[in-house]
Amino acid sequence: MGVLSDSLKLIFSFDSDLYEIIWLSLRVSFLALILSTIIGLPIAGILSSKSFYGKKTIIIFFNAMMALPPVFVGLLLYILFSQTGPLGFFNILYTPSIMVVAQVIIILPIIVSVSTELLGQIFDEYNEIFDTFEVDLVSRIKTTVFDARISLITCILTGLGRALSEVGAIIIVGGNIIHYTRVMTTTIALETSKGNLSMAMSLGIVLIVISISINAIVMVMKTISKKYSYD
């Protein structure tokens, strides 16, 4: 109980180091989510609405990437962006930028795979109408994405939860540098090993609150989606 009490005191005292870590975590994860959404939704729209050679291979690839171990992603990025690596000239290793890249690689397959399945179901329902009115591909994608917007938000929020909980890749490419690349998950691991349980617990509580909030929003979105669906 003493650790829990100290943790709550740390949270409500608005400790600058604590909230610096929380802010960096949110900033990195939200930026990765935005980039993944911008990249992923058009890919999902094309995969769900157009038939072409190699389509199944691409879908299988993204589905397989969902199970990619984050530590392997971190290792791969470390090799590529280290000083001796082929992309070392970017000089972004051990910076928030490479942490964003790592999270994009991790959550992009989730957004593409889930969105493709979702949009594919809607597209199949509208396909006959699209063909009747000779709707072009861009308009077809816009229509299906708009109609599935509420369900897509739940998919995107799932990606956010995945990004916020990531630790393996982030600690490899970010280095867990204090006041620079230290985020909630890596700090919890570090402070627990140091025996500073109050800091670790306080960040754990914040993560739980964020996770509950995300899941609550997802449930509300699903309820709204069912209420206003055409089924």
Confidence of residue 113 (pLDDT cuts 50, 70, 90): very high
**pLDDT on residue 25:** 95
Predicted model pTM? 0.90
**pLDDT on residue 231:** 52
Q: 36-65, pLDDT tens digit by residue?
A: 999 999 999 899 888 889 999 999 999 999
Q: 114-160, pLDDT tens digit by residue?
A: 999 989 888 888 888 888 888 888 888 888 888 888 888 888 888 89
Per-residue H/E/C for 21-85: HHHHHHHHHHHHHHHHHHHHHHHHHHHHHCCCCCHHHHHHHHHHHCCCCHHHHHHHHHHHHCCCC
- Rounded CA separation 174/160 (Å): 19
Confidence of residue 87 (pLDDT cuts 50, 70, 90): very high
Domain 2-227: give its CATH superfamily.
Answer: MetI-like (1.10.3720.10)
**pLDDT on residue 228:** 61
Better-scored residue on pLDDT, 141 or 106: 106
- Residue 184 scores a pLDDT above 80: yes
- Residue 100 scores a pLDDT above 90: yes
Q: 57-68, pLDDT tens digit by residue?
A: 999 999 999 988
Confidence of residue 220 (pLDDT cuts 50, 70, 90): confident
Q: 2-29, pLDDT tens digit by residue?
A: 788 888 888 889 889 999 999 999 999 9
- 77-101 burial, b at 16+ Cβ within 10 Å, e below that, comes to bbebbeeeeeeeeeebbbbbbbbbb
**pLDDT on residue 216:** 87
- The structure tokens listed for 81 are 């962006």
- Rounded CA separation 34/68 (Å): 21
Better-scored residue on pLDDT, 89 or 222: 89
- Cβ neighbours of residue 9 closer than 8 Å, sequence gap 6 or more: none
- Residue 90 scores a pLDDT above 90: yes
- Cβ neighbours of residue 95 closer than 8 Å, sequence gap 6 or more: 174, 180, 181
Q: Name the average pLDDT for the chain.
A: 89
Confidence of residue 173 (pLDDT cuts 50, 70, 90): very high
**Domain spans in the chain, listed from the N-terminal domain onward:** 2-227
Query: Cα–Cα–Cα angle for 48, 49, 51, nearest 5°?
Result: 95
**pLDDT on residue 95:** 96
